[in-house]
């Protein structure tokens, strides 16, 4: 730690708790409390019940959860594939061309996601590519949004990868394809895994672009949470939010377990 | 049997020439050391053979075959680098088998050939380990085994011992010399900045400086009769003194005194550089029978104790002359006048401007 004196350490911890608790922890705790409540007239939600969860894990809500999971898994896998491919390709480019690639891939992050949603909607609402009203358009928009993050994490990992490995493999007679699958991809696995987790988490929580695009039969959970709170069902919405949070954390924990097994260094 | 030939190879990075028209031949089965300070172009030359840098001009031949345009994986070379570059996600066995699998050797032979290579480097007992579970010296042995498993005609070694501590280094040096005896057909190109490694291991040494080949010869030739001032000072840190050739009978003038040396073909009246090794100088009050008439008078600047020897720095007519003497019973006091002697046969005269 940078702070050495005992008093200084106490001060640092107090400041951290003072900032962290009200800003990060308490709101989440209140959501958890609200998800178990029937009334909220005092300072805290009251009237404990499990009924909100009963509704949150069956029927339409359960369908929204699986919709979110499928969307997030498919789009993060697509984004990871496209992002990794692009990052590997960009590495072979000259400096100027690589800058252009970097800029292109940062575009979906720089542009507000509601604009990305609108753009995708406008682009695919007419033949020949009529995707409006399908699940595909939601997955597509999520993929566009999270590919930027996949591209950036893999690019950063590639920069850190010592070229000596690739060169040693080449000197031993390995063709570029062999080097890619037997050396580069295995060495990048920890980074690919982290990128996949990030993409998944972002897609699970995506609302603004999804709002522009989702068809009635493909409604992801964040949209349902928004709809519930919008019509005043705060406690149902809170329960759905907790389910979304727990599912995302669970999947991320699974990712990080694979990560610890996949890291060699 | 195949050697390496550099045919006027030039390499440039961003307009800067890092290797300037290198002409050099490594004979089949020979160990050639590329010796030079950092930035001398020696590593670039090795990387050009490996195929990691493309020459701007010239050709590179391995075993008589022009490989200049070939990608690295089609050159059939073994390479060992300073940082080992073992694949961290593969066990020792799989690291050594990597090249054999990549080259699609018959499946049935692969384990035996990997075992043979590990046996040769004394790492047979570590096949199941991961690289991170090995020490630096062990990792370098595995890296050598991995390079040898593909039975290359040419082995490129890029400062292979630089990352090891002094004790391991001398052990590995002996090991490499043994490998060379066991594999007499393999040509080795050994890049180093350490003259001890080059003198110990190499059949011939190519001295490089500022992107150019300065000198090339057997270790004895370079040490005893360097052709350039750079070689003389880089290999063995020779003292260099400007002299004027007096006559062809072996007299040279320095500091107003006459020294007896082999002036060779140098014409009288020309300037030349006298080169004499620190350990060939002796300390004494006057001429003696052993070292003959050559004396350098000067003021003692500094005395360094180096265990078995004393290193003296003497200011001789404005030139700093280093002398390595067997450990002295009584060390002279800095600031006093001392005389250094050397035998005529221990000095070499270089024509002025040689290699500069």
Q: Render pLDDT for A226-253 as a digit per residue (tens, 0 to 9).
A: 988 888 888 888 888 888 999 999 999 9
Domain hosting residue B18, numbered range: 4-228
Return the CATH number at B203.
Answer: 3.40.50.300
Among residues A49, A72, A88, which one ends one of the domains? A49
Domain co-membership, A147 together with A249: yes
Chain A CB contacts of B85 under 8 Å are 162, 164-165, 167-168
Domain co-membership, A185 together with A224: yes
Domain co-membership, B124 together with B265: no
Chain A CB contacts of B72 under 8 Å are 167, 170-171
Please answer yes or no on whether A183 and B87 come within 8 Å at the CB atom: yes
- Would you state the pLDDT for residue A172? 93
Residue of A164, A174, A264 with shortest CB distance to B102: A174
C-alpha to C-alpha distance for A135 and A69, rounded to whole angstroms: 13
Q: Is the pLDDT of residue B130 over 90?
A: yes
Mean pLDDT, chain A, whole residue set: 86
Mean pLDDT of A148-166: 92
Among residues B228, B260, B294, which one ends one of the domains? B228
- Would you state the pLDDT for residue B314? 92
Mean pLDDT, chain B, whole residue set: 88
Chain A CB contacts of B87 under 8 Å are 165, 168-169, 183, 186-187
Does residue B287 lie within any of the structural domains? yes
Residue of A162, A173, A264 with shortest CB distance to B102: A173
The total domain count for chain A is 2
Please answer yes or no on whether A175 and B102 come within 8 Å at the CB atom: yes
Please answer yes or no on whether B98 and A172 come within 8 Å at the CB atom: yes
Q: Is residue B64 exposed (0-12), middle (13-18) or buried (19+ Cβ within 10 Å)?
A: exposed
B10 pLDDT tier (thresholds 50, 70, 90) = very high
Please answer yes or no on whether B85 and A265 come within 8 Å at the CB atom: no
Domain co-membership, A122 together with A142: yes
Chain A CB contacts of B75 under 8 Å are 171
Residue of B71, B72, B88 with shortest CB distance to A265: B88
- Taking the CA atoms of residue A145, residue A150, residue A151 and residue A154 in that order, the dihedral angle to the nearest 10 degrees is 170
Q: Any CB–CB contact under 8 A between A188 and chain B?
A: no
* Residue A178, CA distances (Å) to A83, A199, A262 in order: 20, 28, 20
Domain co-membership, A119 together with A203: yes
Most confident of A93-102, A109-118, A208-217, B96-105: B96-105
Residue of A165, A170, A182 with shortest CB distance to B73: A170
- Would you state the pLDDT for residue A58? 76
* Out of A59-68, A180-189, B32-41, B258-267, least confident range: B258-267
Residue of B77, B79, B87 with shortest CB distance to A165: B87
Q: Is the pLDDT of residue A170 over 50?
A: yes
Q: Is residue B332 exposed (0-12), middle (13-18) or buried (19+ Cβ within 10 Å)?
A: middle
* Out of A142-146, A208-212, A255-259, least confident range: A255-259
Q: Is the pLDDT of residue B124 over 60?
A: yes
For a pLDDT cut of 70, what percent of chain A falls above it? 96
- Would you state the pLDDT for residue B356? 42
- Would you state the pLDDT for residue A155? 93
A259 pLDDT tier (thresholds 50, 70, 90) = low
Q: Is the pLDDT of residue B58 over 70?
A: yes
Chain A CB contacts of B52 under 8 Å are 167, 170
Query: A90 and A102 in contact (C-beta within 8 Å)?
Result: yes
C-alpha to C-alpha distance for B300 and B335, rounded to whole angstroms: 5
Q: Any CB–CB contact under 8 A between A162 and chain B?
A: yes
Query: B201 and B190 in contact (C-beta within 8 Å)?
Result: yes
Q: Any CB–CB contact under 8 A between A205 and chain B?
A: no
User: Per-residue pLDDT tens for B205-232?
Assistant: 999 999 999 999 999 999 888 888 899 9
Q: Any CB–CB contact under 8 A between A178 and chain B?
A: yes
Domain co-membership, B220 together with B243: no
Domain co-membership, A127 together with A256: yes
User: Per-residue pLDDT tens for B146-202?
Assistant: 999 999 989 999 999 988 888 888 888 998 999 999 988 999 999 999 998 999 999
Q: Is residue B41 exposed (0-12), middle (13-18) or buried (19+ Cβ within 10 Å)?
A: buried
- Would you state the pLDDT for residue B322? 92
Domain hosting residue A15, numbered range: 1-49
Mean pLDDT of B86-115: 93
Backbone angles phi, psi at A186, to 5 degrees: -60, -40
Domain co-membership, A42 together with A68: no
Q: Is the pLDDT of residue A45 over 90?
A: no
Mean pLDDT of A124-129: 81
Domain co-membership, A102 together with A58: yes
Domain co-membership, B176 together with B288: no
Q: Which helix (H) or strand (E) holds B11?
A: strand B4-13
Residue of B71, B88, B146 with shortest CB distance to A172: B146
Chain B CB contacts of A167 under 8 Å are 50, 52, 72, 79, 81, 85
Chain B CB contacts of A178 under 8 Å are 102
CA of A171, closest CA in chain B: separation in Å? Answer: 5
Domain co-membership, A35 together with A64: no
Domain co-membership, B161 together with B59: yes
Domain co-membership, A8 together with A135: no
Among residues B206, B228, B250, which one ends one of the domains? B228
Interface with A, mutate which of B13, B76, B87 (most A CBs under 10 A)? B87
Nearest chain A residue to B145 by CA distance is: A172
* Out of A28-42, A183-197, B9-23, least confident range: A28-42
Chain A CB contacts of B50 under 8 Å are 167, 171
Q: Is the pLDDT of residue A264 over 70?
A: no
Domain co-membership, B211 together with B101: yes
- B44 or A57, which is more confident? B44
C-alpha to C-alpha distance for A165 and A262, rounded to whole angstroms: 18
- Would you state the pLDDT for residue B355? 44
Does residue B83 lie within any of the structural domains? yes
Please answer yes or no on whether A182 and B102 come within 8 Å at the CB atom: yes
Does residue B356 lie within any of the structural domains? no
Domain co-membership, B187 together with B260: no
Chain A CB contacts of B78 under 8 Å are 171-172
Please answer yes or no on whether B72 and A162 come within 8 Å at the CB atom: no
Distance of alpha carbon A168 from the chain centroid: 36
Among residues B200, B228, B256, which one ends one of the domains? B228
Please answer yes or no on whether A168 and B83 come within 8 Å at the CB atom: no
Domain co-membership, A112 together with A6: no
- Would you state the pLDDT for residue B297? 87
User: Per-residue pLDDT tens for A195-229?
Assistant: 999 999 999 988 888 888 888 888 888 988 898 88
DSSP string of A138-178, one letter each residue = HHHHHHHHHHHHHHHHHHHHHHHS-HHHHHHHHHTT--HHH
The total domain count for chain B is 2
Query: B270 and B264 in contact (C-beta within 8 Å)?
Result: no
- Would you state the pLDDT for residue A265? 47
Domain co-membership, B128 together with B268: no
Query: B294 and B343 in contact (C-beta within 8 Å)?
Result: yes
Please answer yes or no on whether A178 and B102 come within 8 Å at the CB atom: yes
Nearest chain B residue to A189 by CA distance is: B89
- Would you state the pLDDT for residue A263? 58
Q: Which of B3, B2, B8 is nearest to B213 (CA)?
A: B8
Q: Any CB–CB contact under 8 A between A118 and chain B?
A: no
Query: B59 and B9 in contact (C-beta within 8 Å)?
Result: yes
Q: What ipTM is given for this predicted complex?
A: 0.83
Does residue B344 lie within any of the structural domains? yes
Please answer yes or no on whether B50 and A171 come within 8 Å at the CB atom: yes
Return the CATH number at B296.
Answer: 2.40.50.100
């Amino acid at each position: 730690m940078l702070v050495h004196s005992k008093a200084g350490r106490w001060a640092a911890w107090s400041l951290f708790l003072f900032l962290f608790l009200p800003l990060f922890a308490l709101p989440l705790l209140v959501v958890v409390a609200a998800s178990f409540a029937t009334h909220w007239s005092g300072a805290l939600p009251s009237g404990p019940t499990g009924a909100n969860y009963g509704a949150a894990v069956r029927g339409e809500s359960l369908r929204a959860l699986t919709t979110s999971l499928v969307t997030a898994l498919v789009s993060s896998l697509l984004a990871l594939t496209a992002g990794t491919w692009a990052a590997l390709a960009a590495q072979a480019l000259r400096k100027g061309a690589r800058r252009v690639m970097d800029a292109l891939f940062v575009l979906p992050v720089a542009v507000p996601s509601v604009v990305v949603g609108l753009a995708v909607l406008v682009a695919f609402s007419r033949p020949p590519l009529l995707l409006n009203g399908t699940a595909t358009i939601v997955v597509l928009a999520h993929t566009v949004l999270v590919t930027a993050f996949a591209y950036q994490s893999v690019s950063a990992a590639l920069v850190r990868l010592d070229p000596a490995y690739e060169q040693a493999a080449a000197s031993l007679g390995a063709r570029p394809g062999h080097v890619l699958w037997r050396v580069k991809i295995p060495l990048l696995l920890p980074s690919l895994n982290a990128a996949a987790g990030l993409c998944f988490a972002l897609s699970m929580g995506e609302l603004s672009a999804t709002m522009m695009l989702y068809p009635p039969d493909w409604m992801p959970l964040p949209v349902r949470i928004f709809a519930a709170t919008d019509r005043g069902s705060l406690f149902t919405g809170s329960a759905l939010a907790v389910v979304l949070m727990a599912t995302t954390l669970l999947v991320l924990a699974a990712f990080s377990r694979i990560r610890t097994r996949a890291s060699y260094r | 049997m195949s050697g390496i030939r550099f045919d006027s190879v030039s390499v440039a990075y961003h307009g800067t020439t890092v290797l300037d028209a290198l002409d050099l031949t490594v004979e089949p089965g020979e160990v050639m050391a590329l010796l030079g300070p950092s930035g001398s172009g020696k590593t670039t030359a090795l990387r050009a053979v490996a195929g990691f840098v493309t020459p701007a001009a010239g050709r590179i031949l391995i075993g008589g075959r022009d490989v200049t345009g070939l990608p690295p994986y089609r050159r059939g070379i073994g390479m060992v680098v300073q940082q080992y570059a073992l694949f961290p996600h593969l066990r020792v066995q799989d690291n050594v088998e990597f090249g054999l699998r990549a080259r699609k050797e018959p499946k049935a032979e692969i384990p035996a050939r990997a075992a043979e290579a590990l046996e040769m480097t004394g790492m047979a007992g570590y096949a199941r380990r991961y690289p991170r579970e090995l020490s630096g010296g062990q990792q370098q042995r595995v890296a050598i085994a991995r390079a040898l498993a593909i039975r290359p005609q040419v082995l490129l070694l890029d400062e292979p011992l630089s990352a090891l501590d002094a004790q391991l280094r001398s052990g590995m040096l002996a090991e490499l010399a043994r490998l060379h005896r066991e594999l007499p057909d393999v040509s080795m190109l050994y890049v180093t900045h350490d003259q001890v490694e080059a003198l110990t291991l190499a059949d011939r040494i190519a001295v490089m400086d500022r992107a150019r080949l300065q000198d090339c010869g057997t270790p004895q030739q370079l040490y005893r009769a360097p052709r350039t001032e750079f070689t003389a000072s880089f290999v063995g840190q020779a003292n260099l003194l400007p002299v004027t050739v007096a006559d062809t009978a072996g007299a040279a003038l320095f500091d107003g005194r006459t020294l007896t040396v082999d002036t060779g073909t140098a014409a009288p009246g020309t300037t030349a550089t006298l080169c004499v090794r620190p350990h060939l100088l002796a300390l004494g009050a006057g001429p003696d029978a052993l070292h003959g008439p050559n004396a350098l008078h000067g003021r003692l600047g500094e005395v360094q104790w180096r265990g078995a020897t004393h290193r003296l720095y003497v200011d001789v007519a404005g030139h700093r002359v280093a002398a390595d003497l067997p450990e002295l019973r009584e060390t002279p006091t800095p600031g006093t006048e001392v005389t250094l002697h050397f035998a005529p046969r221990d000095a070499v005269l270089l024509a002025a401007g040689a290699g500069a």
